Amino acid sequence: MPLAQAVIGESMLVVRVAADGKTRRHLENLGIMSGAELTPLSLTGGNLIVRVHDSRIALDSAVAQNIIVRKRPMFA
C-alpha cells in the first residue's frame, strides 16, 4: 500500500520507492529506502509527517504515494 494510506501511528516497513531517480536518491539520503522502518505521525494539509530512525520528516502527499509500505511484522 502507498505510505499516504498507512494508519497513523502504525510502524511500517518500506517495500520499495517508486519515484524517479532524483527523488529516490533524496529519500535514500533521508533514510527512506527498501527495508527502512518508519512510522506515520500525522497528516496535515496534504503533508505527511513520518518518523524515520530518530528524525521527523515531512513528505508531500505525491511523494508519499510513491513509497510502498507494508505493516511491520510483530514478533513474540
For the chain, the domains span 3-71
The single-letter code of the amino acid at 75 is: F
Q: Is 55 helix (H, G, I), strand (E, B) or coil?
A: strand
Phi, psi of 35 (to 5 degrees): 90, -10
Confidence of residue 18 (pLDDT cuts 50, 70, 90): very high
Report the range of poorest mean pLDDT among 4-8, 38-42, 44-48.
44-48
Cell readout for 41 is 505521525
Q: How many CB atoms lie within 10 A of CB 48?
A: 22
Q: What is the pLDDT of residue 58?
A: 96
Q: What amino acid is encoded at 7 in this protein?
A: V
Is residue 76's pLDDT more than 70? no
74 pLDDT above the threshold of 80: no
Name the CATH superfamily, with its identifier, for domain 3-71.
Ferrous iron transport protein A (FeoA) (2.30.30.90)
